Amino acid sequence: MKTVNKYIVLSLILLGLLSSCKEIIEPDITKKVVTLKSPSDSVTFTSLSPTFSWEPVEDATKYNIQIASPSFAKITTLIDTVVSKTQFTKQLFSGRFQWRVRAQNVNYLTDFCAPRYFVIDSTLDITKQKVLLSNPLLSSYINTATVNFTWQSLSMAKTYSIKVIDSVSNEVLLSKSDLTITNSSYTFAKSTSASWYVQATDGLTGSTKFEYRNFVVDLDVPTNSLTTTDNQTTAGDSISFSWTSADKYYLTDSIVFYNADSLTRSSKYIPVAVPGAKLYKLKDKSSSKPVVGTVFFWQIVTVDKAGNKKYTVKRKFTW
């Protein structure tokens, strides 16, 4: 009976190991094929910024897209990038192109799918083009007063115009035209929500529509304070900590523990994120609980969406 039990235990251990390995090792996707969706083969674009899309591949985490001009057999220009989504938009130029995609995960790659051709017409009308904005990203949060705006160049464009508008007051904060570069900057005096717009012109009579994105400038540091008294002592195997925190663009609070010197991060109790909560109960029922009388320190770190941080004072507790 004991021998049978040993075999059962061994089998369970092996099953556990196999299960763990399955979680660690990525599935083999080498024989899978990427199916392209758009653009279709031999299509002609009237836009310099086509969007490429393809079907997702099961167990793939990223995709490698390549765009060659005029073809992969005779490359004069090659765009080679890796993306996590199943679509990609790129500012190009007039000419003939081929594109292809392969899927990948941590351990495996598929082959590139069969390439497709497309053409961008050399007699393009700039009014049918659009400027691709680079930074700031859509709906981003920024914690610096000076914001740098960048966009991709448009081959037909001679100059660019940029506007930055305060979304709260509708005040035009920045307005520049006849720019021959693809960047500009503005320094904000206070926190606010804003939008930025860019337009390209061909130097004659044509221009693109304004492309725009919204963003938030947050220069305000969160507020927080501890409501638990200093020099607490654990009762049994737990201790509670409480605090207050506030921020217009609040993201999360984290409780951080330190050793008795109040400077070295504790290896016994690691930082814990507690989004939305203002109370944390530290429990330790392990066999390796600290020796009675061991001193630790703790503090709260509040972070907002823009990355502004506020640290409370540190307070002591004794196990």
Q: pLDDT (tens digit, 9 = 90+) per residue, 125-137?
A: 888 888 999 999 9
pLDDT (0 to 100) of residue 277:
87
pLDDT (0 to 100) of residue 18:
47
pLDDT (0 to 100) of residue 46:
81
Whether 226 and 298 have beta carbons less than 8 Å apart is answered as no
Q: How would you class 187 by CB atoms within 10 Å of its CB: exposed for 0-12, middle for 13-18, buried for 19 or more?
A: exposed
> How many other C-beta atoms can be found within 10 angstroms of the C-beta atom of residue 282?
18
Whether 111 and 103 have beta carbons less than 8 Å apart is answered as no
User: Residue 150 forms beta bridges with which residues?
Assistant: 135, 183
Please give the Cα distance from 132 to 152 (Å, whole number): 5
**Closest by alpha carbon to 39, among 117, 101, 132, 96?**
117
Which residue spans of the chain are classified as CATH 2.60.40.10?
A: 36-124, 223-318
**In sequence order, what are the residues at sequence separation of 6 or more whose Cβ sits closer than 8 angstroms to the Cβ of residue 28?**
107, 108
What three-state secondary structure class fits 168? coil
Residue type, 244: T
Whether 154 and 198 have beta carbons less than 8 Å apart is answered as no
pLDDT digits (tens, 9 = 90+) for 152-176: 998 889 999 999 999 999 999 999 9
Per-residue pLDDT of the chain (319 residues), as tens digits, is 444 455 444 454 445 544 444 445 789 999 999 999 999 999 988 888 899 999 999 999 999 999 999 999 999 999 999 999 999 999 888 899 999 999 999 999 999 999 999 998 856 788 888 899 999 999 999 999 999 999 999 888 999 999 999 999 999 999 999 999 999 999 999 999 999 999 999 887 789 999 999 999 999 999 999 998 898 888 778 899 999 999 999 999 999 999 999 999 999 989 999 988 899 999 888 888 888 899 999 999 999 999 999 999 999 999 8
pLDDT (0 to 100) of residue 8:
46
pLDDT (0 to 100) of residue 123:
67
Please give the Cα distance from 156 to 200 (Å, whole number): 9
CATH number belonging to the domain at 223-318, selected among 2.40.50.140, 2.60.40.10, 2.102.10.10, 1.20.120.1810:
2.60.40.10
pLDDT (0 to 100) of residue 16:
52
pLDDT (0 to 100) of residue 122:
59
Instruction: Evaluate if pTM is beyond 0.85.
Output: no
pLDDT (0 to 100) of residue 1:
45
183-187: strand order across its sheet: 133-135, 146-151, 183-187
* Peptide bond just before 56 cis, omega within 30 deg: no
Q: How would you class 190 by CB atoms within 10 Å of its CB: exposed for 0-12, middle for 13-18, buried for 19 or more?
A: exposed
CATH number, domain 127-217: 2.60.40.2550
* CATH 3.40.50.620 describes domain 36-124: no
